[in-house]
Amino acid sequence: MKSIESHIVRRLLFGQGILWTIAALSVWHSQRSRLYSEFDNNQKFVAAALRFHVRNSTLENEVRNRWPRFLTGEEGWHFQSWDEEQNVQVKSEGLGEAELSYADFEKAWASREETAEYVKFNLEGPDGEPLRGVATVARSFRNGMFRRSSSQSKDVLVTRSRRELDENLLWLAVFVFVTGVGASLATAKLVKHAVRQGLFSLRQMSEKAQAIDVSNLDVRFEENDLPIELQPISRRLNDLLRRIESGFIRERRFSSDLAHEIRTPITGLKSAAELLLKWPEETTLERHEQILEMANQMEGIIESLLLLASWESGASPGSRDERVKIEEVVRQCRENESALAAKKNLEYACSLSDSLEINADPALFRLIVANLISNAVSYADENSVIRIANTDGLHPVLSISNSIKCFDESEISNLTKRFWRADKSRSDNVHCGLGLSIVEACATRMGWKLTIAYEASDSVLTFSVGPMQLAD
């Protein structure tokens, strides 16, 4: 996978390379135009003067006095003039018997802009030397443009060697290229350094995240020290770490609670086994029943945990709705708790219709009702009333209330936690703190919701279950 740093560096260098190329070409063209302009301006001045002197027949003296280089052809300085018949009228002595090409002159003149007074072009001298020529004619200005004057046409061409100009242009090209390469290399180093510095915070986050394991889940990323672009990522990572830490804390607490819950029946089984080994002749039916009760308690814990794990992992099949009679299920679950209810002198106040039916999974609904009634009977105050009700479709399907004093309303959120019990001193061999967790899991499985409310004025704790849209 490509790194962010290399990706950004490549993109920046590519863009910077394009900019440097454009800049280099711009410099090259501007300096080239400047050199050509300086080179041509001198020849334009000479061409204008020669045209005047050719027309006034004062050329010879002026050449000898002002432009002696035409006499020798030094540095490729030549001139030549043609009449209207394209016959050579006059030329510089430096040309000797040779002549400049009128065809080159005519071709350049024909391709000029109509408003141009002079035309500049490259050509070869008689000896093959590269020349730069500036041409002009005797002209008149009509209709916004220069035109040849046929009455006194004097075409004048002035040339000069291009060797020095070409050398200067070559050195200019070398200078621009070397400077561009050097600037590109310097820019590459600066860009790489800048990108590396810009990604320093990201590397720090990566190193810090790499160092986090189960032993230091309390580590958090400092958002204020990070760039604005990384702060949202930091917040998400901190939220994720909090959830992971909370999950590990719950798992550790769950393991501790599970060990505590299982230790009690295991200790009882071990003690009973030791007694049977030590005094086998004193074994009684009651002792065997105690052993069976402890084994059943362990089996209940394990089955409840397996049931919750199966639902949470999605391994168990979904619920299958059938028509279920609420009153019949409640009556059967009440009978299962009749012994403890009688011992605590509890009464039931049921307002359920015998014919009331709902669409629900029979097994899941029975688990919900059984655990809610068992919880109510176990923790209701003695000599109190357990109320079981069902109202119309605008309210929860079933609500079970019991009186319980000295209950802290802030503990409601803990009631569905596994192995949590408000009063540890009231623990017994039947309840292990998983009943309400199973109720909530069953309700969620059916698309229902468990709602818990406590009325402090009447000391009444109410558990309600029903479809989410109704329970809300």
Integer Cα distance of 128 and 133 in angstroms: 14
Residue 455 Cα distances to 32, 109, 295, 407, 458, angstroms: 95, 109, 38, 10, 6
Residue 160, strand partner residues = 132
* Alpha-carbon separation of residue 462 from 35, 209, 458, 459 (angstroms): 98, 45, 11, 10
Q: What is the pLDDT of residues 178-202, one digit of tens each?
A: 988 888 888 888 888 888 888 888 8
**CA–CA dist 7, 146 (Å, integer):** 59
The pLDDT of residue 261 is 61
Per-residue confidence (pLDDT) for residue 435, from 0 to 100? 73
What is the 3 state secondary structure string of 314-368? CCCCCCCCEEEEHHHHHHHHHHHCHHHHHHCCCEEEEECCCCCEEEECHHHHHHH
Q: Residue 383 class from Cβ within 10 Å (0-12 exposed, 13-18 middle, 19+ buried)?
A: exposed
165-173 average pLDDT score: 89
Task: Give me the mean pLDDT over the 51-61 stretch.
Answer: 67
- The pLDDT confidence band at residue 453, using thresholds 50, 70 and 90, is confident
368-397 mean pLDDT: 81
pLDDT in tens, 357-366: 888 888 788 8
The predicted structure's pLDDT at residue 146: 42
- Please state the rounded mean pLDDT for residues 276-280: 78
Instruction: Pick 318 or 402 by higher pLDDT.
Output: 402
Residue 42: count of CB within 10 angstroms of its CB: 12
Which CATH fold would you assign to the domain 322-471?
Heat Shock Protein 90 (3.30.565)
Length of the chain, in residues: 472
CA 100 to chain centre: 71
Task: Read off the pLDDT of each residue in 110-132 and give the average, rounded to a whole number.
Answer: 80
Parse the chain into domains and list their residue ranges: 4-170, 228-313, 322-471
Place of tokens 């012994």: 339
**Under 8 Å CB-to-CB from 334, ≥6 apart: which residues?**
341, 348, 373
| Domains 4-170 and 228-313 equal at CATH topology level | no
342 pLDDT more than 50: yes
Lowest mean pLDDT among 66-80, 238-252, 453-467: 66-80
Residue 269 pLDDT: 78
Residue 470 pLDDT greater than 70, yes or no: no
Say whether pLDDT at 212 is over 60.
yes
Nearest to 188 by CA among 2, 15, 3: 15
Assigned CATH for 4-170 = 3.30.450
Tell me the C-alpha distance between 429 and 435, whole Å: 13
Q: What share of the chain is helix, strand, coil (3-state, %, to 5)?
A: 55, 15, 25
The DSSP-derived string for 138-156 is -EEEETTEEEE-GGG--EE
How far apart are the two ends of the chain, measured CA to CA in Å?
48
Give the Cβ contact number of residue 193 at 10 Å: 10
**Closest Cα to residue 120, out of 89, 82, 160?**
160
* Range in 37-46, 130-139, 315-324 with the lowest mean pLDDT: 315-324
Task: Tell me how crowded residue 446 is: count the other CB atoms within 10 A of its CB.
Answer: 21
Average pLDDT along the chain: 78
- In the predicted structure, residue 131 carries a pLDDT above the cut 60: yes
18: Cβ–Cβ under 8 A, 6 or more apart, which residues? none
How large a percentage of the chain has pLDDT more than 70?
Answer: 80
Query: For strand 130-137 and strand 155-161, is the pairing parallel, antiparallel, or unpaired?
Result: antiparallel
CA dihedral 162, 163, 164, 166 (to 10 degrees): 80
Per-residue model confidence (pLDDT) at position 129: 83
pTM metric for this prediction: 0.46
Residue 9: band (very low, low, confident or very high) from pLDDT cuts 50, 70, 90: confident
| 426 vs 5 pLDDT, higher one | 5
Whether residue 280 has pLDDT greater than 70:
yes
The pLDDT confidence band at residue 352, using thresholds 50, 70 and 90, is confident
pLDDT digits (tens, 9 = 90+) for 291-310: 777 777 677 667 766 766 66
Q: What percent of the chain has pLDDT over 90?
A: 1
| Rounded distance between C-alpha atoms, residue 326 and residue 342, angstroms | 23
Q: Which residue has better confidence, 392 or 64? A: 64
pLDDT band of 150, cuts 50, 70, 90:
very low
Lowest mean pLDDT among 1-5, 8-12, 239-243, 268-272: 1-5
Per-residue pLDDT at 47: 80
Q: What CATH class has 228-313?
A: mainly alpha
Residues 230-269 have pLDDT tens digits of 888 888 888 988 888 887 777 776 666 566 666 767 777 7
- In single-letter form, the type of residue at position 200 comes to F
* Residue 140: band (very low, low, confident or very high) from pLDDT cuts 50, 70, 90: very low
Instruction: Provide the Cα torsion 26, 29, 31, 33; round to 10°.
Output: -140
Mean pLDDT of 11-21: 85
